[in-house]
Amino acid sequence: MNTLKTNYLGLTLKNPVIVSSSGLSSTPEKVKKLAENGAGAVILKSLFEEQINHEAGSLISDNSYPEASDYILSYSKENSIGNYLNLIKESKKLVDIPVIASINCTGSTSWTSFAKKIEEAGADAIEINVYFLPNDIDKTSEKYESIYLKLAEKLKESVNIPISFKLGAFFTNPANLAKELYYRKVDSLVLFNRFYAPDIDIDNFKMTTSDVFSSPADIRNTLRWTGILSDKLPKMELSASTGIHTGKDAIKMILSGATTVQVCSSLYKNGIEQLKTIISEIEAWMKKNNFNSVDEFRGKMCYKNIPNPAMYERSQFMKHFSSHE
Protein backbone atom coordinates (compact mmCIF):
# COMPACT_ATOMS: atom_id res chain seq x y z
CA MET A 1 0.00 0.00 0.00
CA ASN A 2 1.42 3.38 -0.95
CA THR A 3 1.66 6.18 1.58
CA LEU A 4 1.76 9.91 1.05
CA LYS A 5 3.09 10.62 4.54
CA THR A 6 5.64 13.45 4.41
CA ASN A 7 7.91 15.18 6.92
CA TYR A 8 8.06 18.95 6.55
CA LEU A 9 9.33 21.59 8.98
CA GLY A 10 9.81 18.87 11.56
CA LEU A 11 6.11 18.02 11.29
CA THR A 12 4.46 14.83 10.05
CA LEU A 13 1.96 15.48 7.26
CA LYS A 14 -0.43 12.81 6.02
CA ASN A 15 0.32 14.00 2.48
CA PRO A 16 2.51 16.69 0.84
CA VAL A 17 -0.37 18.91 -0.32
CA ILE A 18 -0.56 22.15 1.65
CA VAL A 19 -3.16 24.88 1.27
CA SER A 20 -1.27 28.16 0.95
CA SER A 21 -2.10 31.37 2.76
CA SER A 22 -5.25 33.03 1.41
CA GLY A 23 -8.86 33.83 2.19
CA LEU A 24 -9.46 30.09 2.06
CA SER A 25 -7.87 29.84 5.51
CA SER A 26 -9.18 33.03 7.10
CA THR A 27 -11.47 31.43 9.71
CA PRO A 28 -11.30 28.32 11.90
CA GLU A 29 -14.35 26.92 10.12
CA LYS A 30 -12.65 27.25 6.72
CA VAL A 31 -9.52 25.59 8.07
CA LYS A 32 -11.66 22.69 9.29
CA LYS A 33 -13.21 22.22 5.84
CA LEU A 34 -9.78 22.20 4.22
CA ALA A 35 -8.68 19.51 6.66
CA GLU A 36 -11.82 17.48 5.96
CA ASN A 37 -11.03 17.59 2.25
CA GLY A 38 -7.59 16.12 2.77
CA ALA A 39 -5.12 18.99 3.22
CA GLY A 40 -1.80 17.81 4.62
CA ALA A 41 -1.35 21.17 6.36
CA VAL A 42 -2.89 24.64 6.20
CA ILE A 43 -1.15 27.99 6.12
CA LEU A 44 -3.39 30.61 7.68
CA LYS A 45 -4.32 33.85 6.00
CA SER A 46 -1.46 36.27 6.57
CA LEU A 47 -1.01 38.79 9.30
CA PHE A 48 0.18 41.92 7.48
CA GLU A 49 2.71 44.21 9.11
CA GLU A 50 1.68 46.87 6.61
CA GLN A 51 -2.00 46.56 7.55
CA ILE A 52 -1.32 46.70 11.28
CA ASN A 53 0.78 49.84 10.96
CA HIS A 54 -1.75 51.47 8.62
CA GLU A 55 -4.66 50.82 10.99
CA ALA A 56 -2.67 52.11 13.92
CA GLY A 57 -1.56 55.17 11.97
CA SER A 58 -5.14 55.95 10.96
CA LEU A 59 -6.28 55.94 14.57
CA ILE A 60 -3.42 58.20 15.57
CA SER A 61 -4.12 60.71 12.79
CA ASP A 62 -7.75 60.97 13.90
CA ASN A 63 -6.81 61.57 17.51
CA SER A 64 -6.61 65.15 18.80
CA TYR A 65 -4.46 64.25 21.81
CA PRO A 66 -0.87 63.64 20.66
CA GLU A 67 0.13 62.30 24.08
CA ALA A 68 -2.24 59.36 23.52
CA SER A 69 -0.53 58.29 20.30
CA ASP A 70 1.74 55.68 21.88
CA TYR A 71 -1.17 54.09 23.71
CA ILE A 72 -3.35 54.02 20.58
CA LEU A 73 -0.56 52.56 18.49
CA SER A 74 0.06 49.83 21.06
CA TYR A 75 -3.66 49.08 21.47
CA SER A 76 -4.29 48.87 17.73
CA LYS A 77 -1.41 46.47 17.20
CA GLU A 78 -2.42 44.31 20.14
CA ASN A 79 -6.01 44.15 18.85
CA SER A 80 -4.96 43.10 15.34
CA ILE A 81 -2.51 40.57 16.71
CA GLY A 82 -5.10 39.32 19.19
CA ASN A 83 -7.52 38.49 16.40
CA TYR A 84 -4.82 36.55 14.60
CA LEU A 85 -3.77 34.67 17.72
CA ASN A 86 -7.38 33.67 18.21
CA LEU A 87 -7.50 32.33 14.63
CA ILE A 88 -4.51 30.12 15.46
CA LYS A 89 -5.92 28.88 18.76
CA GLU A 90 -9.40 28.12 17.43
CA SER A 91 -8.07 26.44 14.28
CA LYS A 92 -5.83 24.19 16.35
CA LYS A 93 -8.85 23.06 18.35
CA LEU A 94 -10.73 21.97 15.23
CA VAL A 95 -8.11 20.08 13.22
CA ASP A 96 -5.43 17.45 13.71
CA ILE A 97 -3.17 18.64 10.89
CA PRO A 98 -0.37 21.22 11.18
CA VAL A 99 -1.49 24.84 11.29
CA ILE A 100 1.16 27.22 9.99
CA ALA A 101 1.00 30.96 10.64
CA SER A 102 1.90 33.44 7.92
CA ILE A 103 3.40 36.89 8.33
CA ASN A 104 3.70 39.41 5.49
CA CYS A 105 6.31 42.03 6.29
CA THR A 106 8.25 44.81 4.63
CA GLY A 107 11.24 45.07 6.94
CA SER A 108 13.37 43.43 9.57
CA THR A 109 12.78 45.45 12.74
CA SER A 110 9.22 46.52 13.46
CA TRP A 111 7.34 43.30 14.08
CA THR A 112 9.56 40.44 15.22
CA SER A 113 8.05 40.55 18.72
CA PHE A 114 4.82 39.25 17.12
CA ALA A 115 6.47 35.95 16.28
CA LYS A 116 6.85 34.82 19.89
CA LYS A 117 3.16 35.41 20.54
CA ILE A 118 2.30 33.38 17.48
CA GLU A 119 4.42 30.53 18.81
CA GLU A 120 2.73 30.75 22.21
CA ALA A 121 -0.70 30.64 20.53
CA GLY A 122 0.11 27.17 19.24
CA ALA A 123 1.18 27.65 15.62
CA ASP A 124 3.20 24.68 14.42
CA ALA A 125 5.47 26.85 12.27
CA ILE A 126 5.67 30.31 10.71
CA GLU A 127 5.92 31.16 7.02
CA ILE A 128 7.54 34.54 6.38
CA ASN A 129 6.66 36.52 3.30
CA VAL A 130 8.92 39.55 2.87
CA TYR A 131 7.53 41.83 0.18
CA PHE A 132 8.81 45.11 -1.22
CA LEU A 133 9.61 46.47 -4.64
CA PRO A 134 13.37 46.97 -5.08
CA ASN A 135 13.05 50.24 -7.00
CA ASP A 136 15.74 52.36 -5.34
CA ILE A 137 18.40 52.88 -8.02
CA ASP A 138 20.96 53.77 -5.35
CA LYS A 139 20.54 50.53 -3.39
CA THR A 140 22.37 47.38 -4.45
CA SER A 141 20.79 43.95 -4.62
CA GLU A 142 22.99 42.97 -1.69
CA LYS A 143 21.35 45.67 0.45
CA TYR A 144 17.90 44.36 -0.37
CA GLU A 145 18.87 40.76 0.30
CA SER A 146 20.35 41.73 3.66
CA ILE A 147 16.80 42.46 4.84
CA TYR A 148 15.96 38.77 4.47
CA LEU A 149 19.13 37.66 6.19
CA LYS A 150 18.81 40.00 9.17
CA LEU A 151 15.19 39.01 9.59
CA ALA A 152 16.07 35.32 9.54
CA GLU A 153 18.68 35.86 12.25
CA LYS A 154 16.28 37.76 14.50
CA LEU A 155 13.50 35.24 14.10
CA LYS A 156 15.71 32.25 14.86
CA GLU A 157 16.74 34.05 18.05
CA SER A 158 13.11 34.78 18.97
CA VAL A 159 11.21 31.52 18.43
CA ASN A 160 11.76 27.80 18.65
CA ILE A 161 9.19 26.66 16.09
CA PRO A 162 10.28 26.08 12.47
CA ILE A 163 10.45 29.01 10.05
CA SER A 164 10.06 29.05 6.29
CA PHE A 165 10.70 31.95 3.93
CA LYS A 166 8.47 32.46 0.92
CA LEU A 167 10.66 34.04 -1.76
CA GLY A 168 9.95 36.02 -4.87
CA ALA A 169 11.26 34.75 -8.19
CA PHE A 170 13.35 37.75 -9.25
CA PHE A 171 16.55 37.73 -7.24
CA THR A 172 19.84 38.24 -9.03
CA ASN A 173 21.09 34.91 -7.72
CA PRO A 174 18.37 32.85 -5.98
CA ALA A 175 20.82 30.03 -5.27
CA ASN A 176 23.14 32.29 -3.28
CA LEU A 177 20.30 33.79 -1.24
CA ALA A 178 18.97 30.31 -0.56
CA LYS A 179 22.43 29.25 0.68
CA GLU A 180 22.69 32.28 2.99
CA LEU A 181 19.25 31.58 4.47
CA TYR A 182 20.24 27.95 4.96
CA TYR A 183 23.35 29.07 6.85
CA ARG A 184 21.04 31.11 9.11
CA LYS A 185 19.11 27.92 9.91
CA VAL A 186 15.92 28.78 8.04
CA ASP A 187 14.04 25.47 7.91
CA SER A 188 12.38 25.75 4.50
CA LEU A 189 12.06 27.88 1.40
CA VAL A 190 8.78 28.33 -0.46
CA LEU A 191 9.26 28.81 -4.21
CA PHE A 192 7.76 31.18 -5.27
CA ASN A 193 5.60 34.02 -4.07
CA ARG A 194 2.99 35.45 -6.42
CA PHE A 195 3.04 39.21 -5.91
CA TYR A 196 0.40 41.75 -6.78
CA ALA A 197 0.77 42.79 -10.42
CA PRO A 198 -0.63 46.03 -11.88
CA ASP A 199 -2.55 46.45 -15.11
CA ILE A 200 -4.01 49.40 -17.00
CA ASP A 201 -7.63 49.91 -18.04
CA ILE A 202 -7.04 51.67 -21.38
CA ASP A 203 -10.71 52.69 -21.75
CA ASN A 204 -11.02 54.42 -18.40
CA PHE A 205 -7.37 55.41 -17.85
CA LYS A 206 -7.22 53.65 -14.51
CA MET A 207 -4.74 51.38 -12.80
CA THR A 208 -6.21 47.99 -12.11
CA THR A 209 -5.08 44.60 -10.87
CA SER A 210 -4.05 41.78 -13.15
CA ASP A 211 -5.43 38.29 -12.63
CA VAL A 212 -4.75 37.33 -9.03
CA PHE A 213 -4.90 33.61 -9.79
CA SER A 214 -2.04 31.58 -11.17
CA SER A 215 -2.28 29.47 -14.30
CA PRO A 216 -0.78 26.00 -14.85
CA ALA A 217 1.89 27.62 -17.06
CA ASP A 218 3.25 29.46 -14.02
CA ILE A 219 4.75 26.22 -12.76
CA ARG A 220 7.79 26.51 -15.05
CA ASN A 221 10.03 28.81 -13.04
CA THR A 222 9.18 27.04 -9.81
CA LEU A 223 10.04 23.71 -11.43
CA ARG A 224 13.40 25.04 -12.65
CA TRP A 225 14.57 26.35 -9.30
CA THR A 226 13.19 23.49 -7.26
CA GLY A 227 15.14 21.09 -9.46
CA ILE A 228 18.33 23.14 -9.09
CA LEU A 229 18.14 24.01 -5.39
CA SER A 230 17.13 20.52 -4.27
CA ASP A 231 20.54 19.45 -5.61
CA LYS A 232 22.61 22.45 -4.52
CA LEU A 233 21.13 22.50 -0.99
CA PRO A 234 19.95 18.94 -0.34
CA LYS A 235 19.31 19.55 3.37
CA MET A 236 17.07 22.59 2.76
CA GLU A 237 13.40 21.66 2.50
CA LEU A 238 11.57 23.20 -0.45
CA SER A 239 7.86 23.81 -0.74
CA ALA A 240 6.76 24.42 -4.33
CA SER A 241 4.16 27.12 -4.89
CA THR A 242 2.54 28.88 -7.88
CA GLY A 243 1.03 27.08 -10.87
CA ILE A 244 0.18 23.83 -9.10
CA HIS A 245 -3.37 23.02 -10.17
CA THR A 246 -3.51 19.24 -10.53
CA GLY A 247 -2.04 16.05 -9.16
CA LYS A 248 0.16 15.90 -12.23
CA ASP A 249 1.61 19.31 -11.36
CA ALA A 250 2.25 18.18 -7.80
CA ILE A 251 4.02 15.02 -9.01
CA LYS A 252 6.30 17.07 -11.26
CA MET A 253 7.32 19.28 -8.36
CA ILE A 254 8.05 16.34 -6.06
CA LEU A 255 10.06 14.64 -8.81
CA SER A 256 12.11 17.83 -9.09
CA GLY A 257 12.85 17.69 -5.37
CA ALA A 258 10.03 19.52 -3.55
CA THR A 259 9.25 18.30 -0.05
CA THR A 260 5.71 19.65 -0.28
CA VAL A 261 3.50 21.53 -2.73
CA GLN A 262 1.19 24.46 -2.04
CA VAL A 263 -2.14 24.97 -3.78
CA CYS A 264 -4.48 27.94 -3.82
CA SER A 265 -5.74 29.20 -7.21
CA SER A 266 -6.91 25.72 -8.21
CA LEU A 267 -9.11 25.58 -5.11
CA TYR A 268 -10.64 28.96 -5.88
CA LYS A 269 -11.36 27.87 -9.45
CA ASN A 270 -12.54 24.32 -8.76
CA GLY A 271 -13.67 24.34 -5.14
CA ILE A 272 -11.87 22.94 -2.11
CA GLU A 273 -12.95 19.43 -3.17
CA GLN A 274 -10.10 19.76 -5.69
CA LEU A 275 -7.83 18.78 -2.82
CA LYS A 276 -9.26 15.25 -2.89
CA THR A 277 -8.78 15.10 -6.66
CA ILE A 278 -5.14 16.19 -6.47
CA ILE A 279 -4.38 13.67 -3.74
CA SER A 280 -6.17 10.85 -5.58
CA GLU A 281 -4.21 11.62 -8.75
CA ILE A 282 -0.92 11.38 -6.85
CA GLU A 283 -1.97 8.08 -5.28
CA ALA A 284 -3.06 6.60 -8.62
CA TRP A 285 0.22 7.63 -10.27
CA MET A 286 2.25 6.13 -7.43
CA LYS A 287 0.36 2.86 -7.71
CA LYS A 288 0.84 2.77 -11.48
CA ASN A 289 4.59 3.30 -11.10
CA ASN A 290 5.03 0.99 -8.08
CA PHE A 291 6.06 3.67 -5.60
CA ASN A 292 5.19 2.82 -2.01
CA SER A 293 6.03 6.23 -0.58
CA VAL A 294 6.54 9.81 -1.68
CA ASP A 295 10.16 9.60 -0.55
CA GLU A 296 10.82 6.92 -3.18
CA PHE A 297 10.35 9.35 -6.06
CA ARG A 298 11.13 12.70 -4.48
CA GLY A 299 14.05 14.28 -6.34
CA LYS A 300 14.21 11.49 -8.92
CA MET A 301 14.26 14.19 -11.62
CA CYS A 302 16.26 16.88 -9.82
CA TYR A 303 19.33 18.58 -11.30
CA LYS A 304 21.84 15.87 -10.46
CA ASN A 305 19.62 12.91 -11.33
CA ILE A 306 18.86 13.58 -14.99
CA PRO A 307 21.18 12.74 -17.91
CA ASN A 308 21.45 16.37 -19.01
CA PRO A 309 21.27 18.76 -16.02
CA ALA A 310 21.61 21.72 -18.40
CA MET A 311 17.92 21.23 -19.18
CA TYR A 312 17.23 23.07 -15.92
CA GLU A 313 19.63 25.88 -16.80
CA ARG A 314 18.75 26.51 -20.43
CA SER A 315 17.67 30.11 -20.93
CA GLN A 316 18.04 30.71 -24.66
CA PHE A 317 14.50 30.31 -25.94
CA MET A 318 14.77 31.49 -29.51
CA LYS A 319 16.85 28.57 -30.74
CA HIS A 320 13.96 26.27 -29.90
CA PHE A 321 11.81 28.26 -32.30
CA SER A 322 14.40 28.44 -35.05
CA SER A 323 13.10 25.28 -36.71
CA HIS A 324 9.51 26.58 -36.78
CA GLU A 325 8.38 28.66 -39.73
Residues of the chain with pLDDT under 50: 54-76, 318, 321-322, 324
What per-residue confidence (pLDDT) applies to 75?
A: 39
Tell me if 47 sits within 8 A of 81, measured CB to CB. Answer: yes
Phi-psi region of 114 (alpha: psi -120 to 50; beta: other; left: phi over 0): alpha
Instruction: Compute the C-alpha angle 147/149/150, nearest 5°.
Output: 70
99-105 and 47-48 strand pairing: parallel
User: What are the boundaries of each domain within the chain?
Assistant: 6-320
Q: Which of 238, 189, 192, 258 is nearest to 219 (CA)?
A: 192
3-class secondary structure, 120: helix
What per-residue confidence (pLDDT) applies to 82?
A: 87
Q: Could you tell me the fold of the domain covering 6-320?
A: TIM Barrel (3.20.20)
- Bridge partners for 11 per DSSP: 8
17-19 and 206-209 strand pairing: unpaired
